[in-house]
Structure 1
Amino acid sequence: MLTNTKSPAYDLFSPEALANPYELYKQMRESDPVYYSESLGYWILTRYQDVEAALKDERLSADRSSLFIHQIGDLDIRLIQNFLQLIGNMMIEKDPPEHSRMRKLANQGFTTRALESWRSIIQQTTDRLLDQVQTQGYMDIVDDLSVPLPALIIAEIFGVPECDRANLIQWAADIGTLWGAPSGQNIEKLARKADAAAIQFTNLIQHLIEERRRQPGTDLISLLTIAYEAQGLDFAELPSLCILILNAGHLTTTDLIPNGVAALLTHPEQLQKLIAHPELMQSAVEEMIRYDSPAPFVFRIAKEEIVISDTTIPAGSVVALGLGAANHDPAKFTHPDQFDIARTPNEHLGFGPGVHYCLGAVLARMELAICFTTLLKRMPNLRFDVDRQAIPRHTSLVFKGFESLPILF
């Protein structure tokens, strides 16, 4: 068995790598598929077979509290105590059997009936946002569509009063930024914002839970509150489930929309093909998720010493599973760097297989299909705005998207 010792340093946080990491992933996959980054302090997997196996490996724990503590370096752990408490109760940070119990409960909020009732919310919200820019002939996909759309949808699904919605989304974003393995810059500022947001988010959700216990409705918090009450469970866990749903349903979809638009505009023949064949929309959505994954990494902690592809990973190590790199592995996908809206099969890892399969996958797919169908129907002449530059995001390994994506139509 080998232990990874001398390898070239791969800078995953360079501006070039954050904007377009796939060439770097290719180098790592070919030369160091199980790579230890001295600067980041964790192992990185980039091959499909390794990432898929690791997602299902019970020796790799989803409890990442040690990673968050490592991220803040020499800062006092009390700086993020409220953040750790909120995140620590998240289902995504739990292993079976605790995860299985929480997953069963969470699923009660995602019934077929509930999902179908959300379809009209998604359509109406999409139309309302596009109405606001229709006569302009230009828009920023991020500011005008991808940020407000999932935020408004989730707030509506949660039944959050309009006066609290902007705060709710901002708190979720602050929590998600620290949760998303940010670069070392301004880590103390990010930590303080995340901890303060954890307090405020928890207080708001607890207030809404109390209201729903007195007067339940048909919103998601009501459905989850009813499920918790019926089984006599601890309501202290519910804010953590809500932040998970909010971040899973909001942050990733916020990035999927501009990533998908950019992929279509960079491949105009695929855009025209989709306009001509709208029945390919579901297939196109899957290819958007594979081609430029909004969540290119998930993290695990080795509960014991494990061997991956002849490389020994010590117990306690942090392991980054490269979903984005795996989704471009030629050993799994034919011509992986081509964007093909009719690709089949397309067994991408964008939602992560195994017990931690994305809770909001059905909702995300529904949002994307409705959003892109409506966008292309109303604005078929979609094109890049050459006078205004697109700005990729440069802050996190876990979330990949755009700060700005100006387009004309």
Structure 2
Amino acid sequence: MNLQHKNMPAFANEQTYDLFAPEALANSYPLFKRMRSEDPVHYSEALGYWILTRYRDVEAAVRDERLSSNRTALFINKLGSLDVKEIQNFLDMTSHWMVDTDPPEHTRLRKLGNPGFTTRAIESWRSIIQNTTDRLLDRVQNQGGMDVVSDLAVALPGFIISEIFGVPETDRANLLEWARDIGTFFGAAGGSTIEMAELARKADKAAVNFCALIRQLIEQRRRQPGTDMISLLSVAYQEQGFNDRELPFLCMEILNTGLLTTTDLIANGVNALLSHPDQLQKLKKNPTLINSAVEEILRFDTSVPFSTRIAKQDLTIGGKNITAGSIIALGFGPANHDPEKFEEPEVFDITRTPNEHLGFSSGIHFCVGAVLARMELTICLTTLLRRLPNLRFDPDKQAIPTKHSNLVLKGFDSLRVKFDACLN
């Protein structure tokens, strides 16, 4: 598929919206509001993307069979003049991911992943999440402060997903690094040739190392099966006669997305609560509101603000003619703040109902790890507020949003907080 963005028509009064300006990185929602009001189906010359910001357009696009989730051409396009061999291992991996395939292949892959998300398996994660959260807070609770990102948001999903998959502790740091390298190139909106070449090579090397580790773990579990997800999936693959070659790619997708998106979601959630002390106090007084609070966090500041699609044919969205091969960025973040869908969308309200947000996408690509992400965030925030009294921003340390040009992932590089130390 050829991506059509080099010779797109120029628009007479075209607005420019810099999604990576410092003020947009700090808070992108005022910019999204402008785009939704001025040009809700906007073509960005800088990115070469069409950008959708209205809820009705985004929700319809998620379900539109004329739009493909196969991003192979997009990844190759990022390379510019570089040889596609630079990302061959990366492409081999993502071409087997549910998130990057269309039916009927997507339907088949989704079926393969179901054994890892049974009710029994999901409930067994609860104690792992609680114990891990407590261990991490044990390390900091007497210090009176911490960095939510490095001390909790990165470490918690890393420990949990590694425990669920039975990844040895000696390999966990590498796993996090590989996931970051893959995710950075996956969501990169563009950059200089030198920058993209570096990101591409890191992602490709990470895919090789990731795959080697997972294959090694699969072989170990076949000799000594356990109750971890790799063991469950291995048994299911053998019993149903699935192609074993695909199992590592499925494991890599679940691991990768489970690590990156939840990391950002935890930090975004803490930031939202601390930025709205009235809602924080409401939650403290009534902890039963935690499930509703989690849904509002997912709406208010999702960790996945955009997802891209490729137009398989010419089509019209919001009165704009879009040609086959065009890249379309579906704005989950902007859509979640659309006043046509949500009353007072800029208000953070932990009792909001209904709350039909797109924090986990929708339709056939609804996030397969949504149950795990919700469980992690619920247990993490509940334990955090219970164990760290008077949790607040550190006035001497400014929060640092992610700086890389990543359209797909949104979070913080650092989020310093203080609390009353609990000396035993």
What TM-score results when the alignment is normalised by the length of structure 1? 0.98
Equivalent residue number for residue 403 of structure 1: 413
Residues 1:353 and 2:359 are matched in the alignment? no
Count of matched residue pairs:
407
**Partner deviation per Cα, 1:2-33 (whole Å, 9 max, x = no partner):** x7723112111222212211111111111111
More displaced, 249-258 or 233-242?
233-242
Equivalent residue number for residue 78 of structure 1: 85
Residues 1:263 and 2:269 are matched in the alignment? no
Question: 1:275, 1:380 within 8 Å by CA — same for their partners in 2?
Answer: no
Paired AA for residue 172 in structure 1: A
Structure 1 runs of 4+ off > 2 angstroms? 3-6
Map residues 267-306 of structure 1 onto 2, 5 A cutoff. Answer: 267-306=276-315
Paired AA for residue 30 in structure 1: S
Report how far residue 263 of structure 1 moved.
0.8
Q: 2: CA distance between counterparts of 1:380 and 1:168? A: 33
Report how far residue 215 of structure 1 moved.
2.1
Equivalent residue number for residue 321 of structure 1: 330
Map residues 193-232 of structure 1 onto 2, 5 A cutoff. Answer: 193-232=202-241
Question: 1:255, 1:294 within 8 Å by CA — same for their partners in 2?
Answer: yes
Question: 2:214, 2:252 within 8 Å by CA — same for their partners in 1?
Answer: no
More displaced, 37-46 or 144-153?
37-46
Question: 2:47, 2:190 within 8 Å by CA — same for their partners in 1?
Answer: no
Question: 1:4, 1:36 within 8 Å by CA — same for their partners in 2?
Answer: no
Map residues 327-338 of structure 1 onto 2, 5 A cutoff. Answer: 327-338=336-347
Residues 1:382 and 2:382 are matched in the alignment? no
Identity of aligned residues (%): 64
Question: 2:50, 2:327 within 8 Å by CA — same for their partners in 1?
Answer: yes
Unaligned 5+ segments in structure 1 are: none
Equivalent residue number for residue 122 of structure 1: 129
Map residues 139-150 of structure 1 onto 2, 5 A cutoff. Answer: 139-150=146-157
Report how far residue 181 of structure 1 moved.
2.2
**Partner deviation per Cα, 1:242-290 (whole Å, 9 max, x = no partner):** 2221122111110111111111111100000000010100000000010
**Partner deviation per Cα, 1:212-239 (whole Å, 9 max, x = no partner):** 2222211011111111111222222222
Report how far residue 380 of structure 1 moved.
2.9
Partner SS for 2:43: strand
Partner SS for 1:132: helix
Residues 1:63 and 2:70 are matched in the alignment? yes
Root mean square deviation, CA, Å: 1.1
Unaligned 5+ segments in structure 2 are: 1-8, 420-424
Question: 1:175, 1:195 within 8 Å by CA — same for their partners in 2?
Answer: yes
Report how far residue 360 of structure 1 moved.
0.3
Partner SS for 1:320: strand
Partner SS for 2:330: strand
**Partner deviation per Cα, 1:71-112 (whole Å, 9 max, x = no partner):** 122211111111111111111111111111111121110011
Q: 1: CA distance between counterparts of 2:301 and 2:399? A: 16
Question: 1:34, 1:46 within 8 Å by CA — same for their partners in 2?
Answer: yes
**Partner deviation per Cα, 1:43-65 (whole Å, 9 max, x = no partner):** 11000000000001111011001
Map residues 104-115 of structure 1 onto 2, 5 A cutoff. Answer: 104-115=111-122
Paired AA for residue 89 in structure 1: H
Equivalent residue number for residue 422 of structure 2: none
